[in-house]
């Protein structure tokens, strides 16, 4: 089992202890990116580091320009070659920023996303794409980069955009979270996603699945998402695990 998206840096998680499963550590800013690499260095069997800058979670202290931040990100990737497994989360978010976040204007988000896509292509790393209230714009944009590949994290494009994602020139996966355990509509979407394109995630500490809903989410809870997928696919958990884990291996290229 692998949780392909969790936030375990200090500002999200007091103790990054995870039992038994692998975790892709998602980053939202430069600081998270550095922390993820340090966490993965200490525990490379369990953690795979991602580095990236979220479209909305701007760091108010950080006065650096987008270009300077992306340069810094590239330096991190260069220095930690072989230890970085993905670029992200990056993407577009046209929702109103939440508490502790600042709104980054659309045009700045587009530049930031484009630069990170280019990094992914240059260093042959998959992208972890965050898309909120912007799925069509995100897909329009990804179509301009046929060499880019990765995962649409916490996929919210419904049944109607599955073909668009599958039709992108390089291979793209759908990341599905714990809300699958309580959103019937999402179960129908998952049933329509090609089996070989599905990966599962928690987005810890957010989006905890039933039976832990409204609690702090933990990577181990991804098992409830696997169980729900097994139920949707009408197969057993072991077969489900084989398929999903093979997809995650293909996506992130870990051994």
Collapsing DSSP to helix, strand or coil, 99 comes out as: coil
Cβ distance to Zn ion smaller for residue 3 or 241: 3
- Binding residues vs Zn ion (CB under 5 A): 26, 203
Q: What are phi and psi of 5, to 5 degrees?
A: -165, 105
Distance CA 140, CA 164 (A): 10
Cβ distance to Zn ion smaller for residue 26 or 30: 26
Distance between terminal CA atoms of the chain? 14
Minimum distance from CB of 7 to Zn ion (Å)?
6
Cβ distance to Zn ion smaller for residue 4 or 230: 4
Distance CA 127, CA 53 (A): 11
Minimum distance from CB of 242 to Zn ion (Å)?
26
Minimum distance from CB of 60 to Zn ion (Å)?
19
Distance CA 8, CA 112 (A): 23
What does the DSSP assignment read for 130-142? EEES-HHHHHHHH
Cβ distance to Zn ion smaller for residue 24 or 139: 24
**Among 203, 197, 202, 196, which residue's Cα sits nearest to residue 151?**
197
Minimum distance from CB of 234 to Zn ion (Å)?
30
Cβ distance to Zn ion smaller for residue 1 or 154: 154
Minimum distance from CB of 246 to Zn ion (Å)?
23
């Amino acid at each position: 089992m692998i949780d392909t998206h969790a936030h375990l840096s200090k500002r999200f998680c007091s103790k990054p202890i995870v039992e038994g499963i692998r975790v892709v550590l998602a980053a939202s800013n430069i600081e998270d990116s550095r922390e993820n690499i340090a966490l993965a260095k200490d525990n490379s069997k369990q953690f795979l580091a991602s580095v990236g800058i979220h479209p909305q979670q701007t760091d108010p202290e950080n006065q650096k320009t987008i270009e300077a931040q992306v340069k810094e990100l590239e330096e991190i990737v260069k220095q930690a070659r072989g230890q970085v497994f993905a670029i992200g989360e990056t993407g577009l978010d046209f929702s109103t920023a939440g508490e502790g976040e600042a709104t980054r204007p659309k045009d700045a988000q587009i530049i930031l996303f484009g630069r990170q896509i280019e990094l992914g292509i240059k260093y042959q790393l998959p992208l972890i794409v965050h898309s909120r209230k912007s799925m069509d714009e995100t897909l329009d944009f990804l179509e301009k980069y046929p060499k880019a590949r990765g995962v649409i994290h916490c996929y919210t494009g419904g049944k109607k955009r599955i073909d668009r994602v599958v039709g992108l020139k390089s291979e793209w996966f759908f990341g599905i979270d714990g809300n699958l355990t309580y959103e019937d509509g999402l179960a129908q979407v998952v049933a329509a996603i090609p089996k070989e394109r599905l990966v599962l995630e928690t987005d810890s500490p957010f989006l905890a699945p039933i039976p832990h809903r409204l609690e702090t989410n933990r990577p181990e809870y991804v098992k409830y998402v696997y169980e729900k997928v097994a139920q949707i696919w009408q197969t057993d958990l072991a077969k489900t695990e084989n398929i999903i884990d093979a997809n995650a291996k293909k996506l992130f290229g870990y051994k």
